[in-house]
Structure formats: C-alpha cells, structure tokens
Structure 1
Amino acid sequence: MLPIAPVLDRLDANLDQSIERLFGLLRIKSISTDPAFAADCRKAAEWLVADLKSIGFEASVRETPGHPMVVAHHEGPSADAPHVLFYGHYDVQPVDPLNLWESDPFDPALKEISPGRKVITGRGASDDKGQLMLFVEACRAYKQVHGKLPCRVSILFEGEEESGSPSLKPFLEANAEELKADFAMVCDTGMWDRETPALCVGLRGLVGEEITVKAANRDLHSGEFGGAAANPIRILARILSDMHDDTGRVTIPGFYDGVEETPTQVLKSWEALNETAESFLGEVGLSIPSGEKGRSVLELTWARPTAEFNGIEGGYTGKGFKTVIAAQASAKVSFRLVHKQNPDKIRAAFRDFVRARIPADCSVEFEEHGGSPAIQLSYDSPFLTKAKQALSDEWPNPAVMLAMGGSIPIVGDFQTFLGMESLLAGFALVDDRIHSPNEKYDLSSFHKGQRSWARILDALTR
C-alpha cells in the first residue's frame, strides 16, 4: 500500500501551481455548442493530453464526428490492481449575456468574496474544468511522491457534454473493450454545503412526451358551435387533471411498478440535513409541497417519481380576446423515474391513459422526446462505503449520501455500454453560478477536492 500522508502534503505544497495550471485550461474558449469555437475545443483537448502525458499517462486525442474525446491510461502497481475510469468534460457553456459578467469570463482570477473565502472565477471554473483537474492533480501528486498510482486509471474527457453529447454513445460502444473498468468515477456533481461532502447514489430517469388533441377540421366560432362541438382544450385539460389524485399520486395504471421505498436509515440521514419545505421552496416564493402527501421535500425530489406538465398550447394566445374553439391543443409532459421503473412501459401506459379519454370523433397524436431509466446504486456498496469514509476523513462534516432529481446521462451510458456502476463525487456548490454569468469555484473546493480524490483512490485500493 502506498502511504497517503505524503501525497496530501504534496498537494498542499502544489496548490499555487495547480491553480496556475487550471487558469491555463480556463483561458481556452472551449464552447462546444458554437461552431465558431471548434478550434478552441480541440485546443482544450490537446492541452489536457499534453498535461496527462507530463505525468506519465498514455494519452491521446480521439476523433469523433464532433469535438474530440481525450482518452488516457496509466498502469497500476500490479496487473490485478483495481481499475477505475474517471470521467469529466472540458467543454463549457456560452457566456452570454457578456455584459452581466464582472470580469472577462476567459480571464480567470482568484478573488476574495468575503473575509477568508476565496474563489476561482471564470467560465468552466466549476462546470467542469475545475472539477476534472482535481483528479488530475491527485494523480500528479501520487506520481511525484511514489512514482506510481495506487491503482490502474483510465480517463475519459468529453468535449460535447454541454451540447447534448451526440458523439458519446457511439464512442462508448465502439471503444467499450478499451474503456471498461471495475467502476467509473464521475465528478460532475456537488457538495451539500461548503463543509459537507456528498456522494450521489441515485439519479432519476426521464420520459418526455408531447401530445396533440385534434377535434374539428378548423377553428370554430364559439357562439355558433359552443356547447355542440368538442373542445380539444377542454379534453386536454381533463386528461392532465386526471393524472393526479387529491394526495398528489399519479393515477396512470402501473405507474408505480418498480418503485421501492427509500430505506429508513437513508431517510433519517436526509432528515438530519434539516431541509424543510419552507427553506427549500422559500427562495422561489413558495412554501407548500405539491407532490405526494406525507413525504419530505428531499424524498419528493430525490427518490419519488413525478409527472409534470412543461408546456400547454391551444386556441388564441395573442393580445386581446378571440372567441374561438381551437381545432387542436397540445401539451408537453415529462416523467421523472426512480428505481426500476421502465421508461418504455411508462410511455405506453401514459398513451393508453390518454387514448381512453379521447372522444370517438376526435384524435390524438404523440411525439416522443427521449427516455432513460433511473440510476440507483446500492446503499451498502463496498466502494461507496469506502469513498464515504474517505470524504469524511477530509472534510469538517461527515459525507452524506444523497440523490439528484435530475439526470446525468453518462452514468446510464456507462451502465448500458460498459456494464459499470459509477461513483458520483463532486465539489461544486449551489452558488457556483454554473451556466450563468460570473461562474466561480471555491478555493476550498479546489484544494480539498484534490485531497479528497487522493483519499478516495487510496481507500479503494485497500
């Protein structure tokens, strides 16, 4: 076993240099969604390859139909040492509106925003360049101290995460044999608060549907046809209203198939976070949860499935008033899935539910908007337990295991194409302003995040 203490000491000594290295990466305008920055995306990939090679990785830029991938490998102390795949993305969001930035988004700086609290500013500081460099710096310190890494390490850095990852699935499928490891590690998550690290153990899945209810063959005058002709807005409103009962549960038959109750000990750990309905909803001007009654806001957003309406359209929506019965009405509906809910079955059950409420002389059309299953890690997974202890050893407060209401598609892709579970550990904070002007990353996240990854690598090899 390689002693961890000197590695941590080296990370402390290297901090200033690691900040300068991050600044070098942050200065590259790797905006993946804008073709004007394609050369910058390639420049960022090449920068990472050069940096990884400098610490002994076999690294290369891999071509895709879009922006390139970065793939790197490093041997471990032995052929049978654990093998991990680390994932991050080097592309960033556009910076618009530029006038809202307090400084040049691609001129990173170290600023003190309050007494004793310093942050790194610049686009990508948190999402995701700062996060991915934590792991690189941990590997660098291991090599400087011990001349080797404690396990076998592969790295995959993507350049299209902020633009939908169109090249990722084909790349994983084509390179599955090379990229497969014992498990993956994903850094694109955050902490509970500035002193409490977190491991994400659950990600909700997603089903998106757009429905269009059609009635008459043209818009109708409501005075001439009102009361006699079917009104698609009324039909649609009834369908949407029928989807929830008075307790907030979804009424679609079979919707809760595969949904498991969250373990009691996990619910108690979430209660200890002291998040109330008032504190969670207060910042958006609300205070009363609208989901299933009798459940906390964290359980509702992290561990329960939902059906939400994301848009509705029909009839005259311009200024003034028009007495019309529309020929059609449409709605966009999304479902967040948990545990073992099957996206295909949810989609089919929803369509059956809708069709059963369409009058015989009317029709409905459906448009699919993607779908993915939920990701749920075992709460007693050995590598999760080790990582939790490693984080708890580094930070003032013990690490918490939480879930996320959203989705991180790469985790599902690793499971589908590589057959691997993922460890999700990141050090972003809710006030990092990712995707917004004035993005930042706390210096404490950058410093202790490096030490955290070193501790996790150490723990996973014991």
Structure 2
Amino acid sequence: MTDLAPVLDSADTNLEASLGRLFELIRIRSVSTDPAFKAECRKAAEWLVRELTALGFDASVRDTPGHPMVVAHHDGATPDAPHVLFYGHYDVQPVDPIELWETDPFEPSLKEEAGRKVITGRGTSDDKGQLMTFVEACRAYKQVNGNLPCRVTILFEGEEESGSPSLKPFLTANAEELKADCALVCDTGMWDRETPAISSSLRGLVGEEVTVIAASRDLHSGMYGGAAANPIRILTSILAGLHDETGRVTLPGFYDGVEETPDDVKASWARLAGNDKDFLGDVGLSLPSGEKGRSILELIWARPTAEINGIVGGYTGEGFKTVIAAKASAKISFRLVGQQDPAAIRESFRAYVQSKIPADCKVEFHEHGGSPAIHLPYDSALLQKAKEGLSREWPKPAVVIGMGGSIPIVGDFQKMLGMESLLIGYAQSDDRIHSPNEKYDLVSYHKGIRSWIRVLDALA
C-alpha cells in the first residue's frame, strides 16, 4: 500500500480551496426537469470537464437526446492496476417551494446548524457534494503521487433527477468504453454520523395492476345484492389471500431463489438497530406486520414482499350510494431479493388471481415494470477491501447494509456492463434532499474525500 499520510494531508490542507470549487458547481442551476435550465445543465457538464481535464483526465462532454453526459478516463499507477468506474449525477431537483428556503438555493454557504458546520444549497448532498468528494480525492492523490492508484473512468449523468431517459441508450452505445472491474456509486448515505456504510443489496420490483370485471354496469344493491357477483368482494378476497397468518406470501414458487441471510450479517444488523417501536414510532406504529420471527432490518433489506398500493371500486364520493360496482381494481407491488425471477413472480400472481375469478366474470392485468434484485456477495473481496478502507477513516467500523428500494443505474451496470457496484455515500438522513434547505455536513464532505483516498488505495 501507498503511504497515504501525505495524500490525506493534502486533502486537509486544500479543503478550503476544494469547498470553493464545490460552491462554483452548486451555483450552476442544473435543474434537469425544467427545459428553462437546459443551458445550465450543459454549463455544469462543461465545468466538470474543465476540472477533470486540469487533473489529467481525458474528459469530454458527450451529447445525448437530452442533457449531456460527462465521460473521463485516467490511467493508474501501473498498466495492470484495477479499473473502477465512478458514477454520479450533476443535475438537481427543482427548488420549489422557493419561499421555504432560508437562503438562496443556488448561493451556497457554510453555516452552523445544530452544533455542526453544514454546506447549504440545492445539490449539496444530492449529488454535487457527493461526486466532488471523489474528484477531490483524485486531486489529492495526483498532487502527491503524480498518478492514481487505480485506472479510473468517470461517468457523470445530467438526467438522474428526471428519470434518466438517455442513460440506457448511452450505456449500450458505449459499453466497451465504460466497462471496468467494478462501479463505485456515491449517491447513498451513512448509517449514522460516525458509522460509514456500504449498501450491498437493492431489492428488485414487480408492479402489477389488476381489474376484476363482473356485471355489464353498476347495479342497485337492493335489486341485485346477494345474487350478482361483487367484484370488490372478489378482489379483496384475492388480495387477502396473498399472505398467510405468519405474514408469508402464499404465491406458489414465490420464495424460489430467496436465500437466508448469514447469521453473522444478521448479528451485525441487530447491533445497528433499535427496537421495533423505535423504527415504527416515527410513523405512529409499533408492531411489525411482515413475516414473523424476522427483525425489522431483515424485513426491509433481505426479505421479499407483496404490498397492496391502492384499491378502487364502486362509489367513493361524498355521502353514500347503494351500488354494486361493475369492476374493481388494485395496484400491487412485489419487492424481490436474491435470485427471484420477476417474470416468474408475475406469472405466479396472474395464475393465482385467475384461479379465483368466477366463471361469469373476467380479469385484466396491466404491467408496471419489473427488475431483479441486486446483491453483492457478503464475502466479496471488493466489499471487504472497501470496508477496511472506510473503517480506517471513521470513528466506528464500516457496516454492510441493504436497501429496501431500488437504484436503477446499479441494475443497468450489472445487466448491461457486467459489473458489480459498491454503493458508498456520506449523506445523512437529515440532509433534506429534494426538499427546501438541502444541506451536506462539512464532516461528510471532508471525510468523504479522505474516505475515497483510502478506498481507492485499498482497491489497488
């Protein structure tokens, strides 16, 4: 390993100058969803290219049908050094409602908040501050050693906050250029202010909308009640049957590909978590409703789910109407883990529903997307190296966590480029991303730079 002390010292000494560069980037109003800011998005891409070029990267703005990508390459210390792809996004969310901001969202500042120094402004945490931690880590490494320990490719996107419409076509067209040994994604957060985290898994998703159709029109419940099929009753009975009394999903084959979480990982999660009441108390609940015998963190990170997201049928206006609806609909989402097959889950659900439909009724389905879960093996050498590097920087050792939701780019890297991803970020839960008064802790920014220095060295 390299003697990192001079590199870390460089990051410390140049912190003020690096904050100045971050502030320049934040001042660029790169709101990707609003066409009025199209020129600002290009301005942000061009700013990043200038910075990366000055650091010795072969960097360029790449046009797309939407906002441009930034792609940059840098050789490592040796020709056979490991190759990493770093991903971030330079676009930001709109600032509305502007009247709730305490300061100009595009005029960043450093201020005291709850006894901590924070950087204020739109994009400080999501994702300009995060991506600049990596750029500044590269700067410190280059300043001291003249090169980087790894071969580095950088991909900065300008449409993450507006659905990434150009991303998949861009990955397809440039797959050979962008392939690396692994991807580094800095769009996540820490476990707490002293504990860095690596997200090793993301749950997949299957979305389904189902409509049960009975009579040819809405019926008077006095004239037809008891004789005519009621699609709301049929539908709710079907939905109620999705789970058994222990909270397990009843669909045939649903748990195919679901593996048990290793005991040592569950033990580490148990040390992280408070009790169930602590977790659910913020939303006014106290009792877990999922599979019995599972911890809260295991339920949201490592177990699959079936959730009913909405039901519509009959009269839902003010007052009362005695009607038997002609049809009823529901939206259902399945969160997937491990090797669960989205297509198989959808097929099993549809077969289950069809088996419950009376002969004189019919059912229609509408698909709302599907993607598999993403999981980095717990014994991955990449994971262990990054964990060791992070643990040397923060007061508490790094933890490996899961994420209950999905980050599409991680799946795209795996499916389209054949790469695993390390999700390492330094955001805090109170950073107010997407909301007024977004901020990024100065410690997150400073130690984020130092952390990437250590992780790059560990991976090399």
Contact 1:276–1:296 (8 Å) recurs in 2: no
Give distance in 2, aligned partners of 1:375 and 1:171: 21
Q: C-alpha displacement at 1:143, in angstroms?
A: 1.0
Contact 1:2–1:146 (8 Å) recurs in 2: no
Q: What is residue 33 of structure 2 aligned with on the other side? A: 33
Q: Tell me, yes or no, if structure 1 residue 217 matches structure 2 residue 216.
A: yes
Post-superposition Cα deviations, 1:40-75, rounded to whole Å, max 9, x if no partner, equal 111111111111111111111111111111100001
Post-superposition Cα deviations, 1:193-229, rounded to whole Å, max 9, x if no partner, equal 0000001111100111111111111111111111111
Q: What is residue 147 of structure 1 aligned with on the other side? A: 146
Q: What is residue 9 of structure 1 aligned with on the other side? A: 9
Structure 1 residues 174-213: aligned runs within 5 Å: 174-213=173-212
Structure 1 residues 270-309: aligned runs within 5 Å: 270-309=269-308
SS at match of 2:272: coil
Give distance in 2, aligned partners of 1:39 and 1:276: 49
Q: What is residue 338 of structure 1 aligned with on the other side? A: 337
Amino acid at match of 1:62: R
Give distance in 2, aligned partners of 1:225 and 1:332: 27
Q: What is residue 92 of structure 1 aligned with on the other side? A: 92
Post-superposition Cα deviations, 1:102-136, rounded to whole Å, max 9, x if no partner, equal 12211111110122x11111111101111100000
Q: What is residue 427 of structure 1 aligned with on the other side? A: 426
Amino acid at match of 1:7: V
SS at match of 2:122: coil
Contact 2:342–2:372 (8 Å) recurs in 1: yes
Q: C-alpha displacement at 1:3, in angstroms?
A: 2.4
Give distance in 2, aligned partners of 1:397 and 1:173: 40
Give distance in 1, aligned partners of 2:47 and 2:229: 62
Q: C-alpha displacement at 1:433, in angstroms?
A: 1.0
Give distance in 1, aligned partners of 2:256 and 2:311: 28
Give distance in 2, aligned partners of 1:275 and 1:47: 44
SS at match of 1:184: strand
Give distance in 1, aligned partners of 2:243 and 2:102: 45
Q: What is residue 111 of structure 1 aligned with on the other side? A: 111
Gaps of 5+ in 1: none
Give distance in 2, aligned partners of 1:390 and 1:317: 56
Structure 1 residues 250-289: aligned runs within 5 Å: 250-289=249-288
Q: What is residue 247 of structure 2 aligned with on the other side? A: 248
Amino acid at match of 2:73: H
Give distance in 1, aligned partners of 2:118 and 2:313: 47
SS at match of 1:112: strand
Amino acid at match of 1:107: E
Contact 2:208–2:366 (8 Å) recurs in 1: yes
Q: What is residue 410 of structure 2 aligned with on the other side? A: 411
Q: Which moved more, 1:162-171 or 1:451-460?
A: 162-171
Amino acid at match of 1:204: R
Amino acid at match of 2:362: S
Contact 1:214–1:232 (8 Å) recurs in 2: yes
Amino acid at match of 2:320: F
Post-superposition Cα deviations, 1:280-336, rounded to whole Å, max 9, x if no partner, equal 111111110010011110000000000011111111111111111111111111010
Give distance in 2, aligned partners of 1:388 and 1:32: 34
Gaps of 5+ in 2: none
TM-score normalised according to structure 1 size: 0.98
Give distance in 1, aligned partners of 2:258 and 2:21: 45
Post-superposition Cα deviations, 1:6-44, rounded to whole Å, max 9, x if no partner, equal 110000011111111111111111111222221111111
Q: What is residue 160 of structure 1 aligned with on the other side? A: 159
Q: Tell me, yes or no, if structure 1 residue 68 matches structure 2 residue 68.
A: yes
Contact 1:275–1:298 (8 Å) recurs in 2: no
Give distance in 2, aligned partners of 1:215 and 1:292: 34
* RMSD (CA atoms): 0.9
Give distance in 2, aligned partners of 1:40 and 1:82: 35
Q: What is residue 312 of structure 1 aligned with on the other side? A: 311
Q: C-alpha displacement at 1:270, in angstroms?
A: 0.5
Q: What is residue 124 of structure 1 aligned with on the other side? A: 123
Amino acid at match of 2:92: V
Contact 1:377–1:421 (8 Å) recurs in 2: yes
Q: C-alpha displacement at 1:235, in angstroms?
A: 1.0
SS at match of 1:394: coil
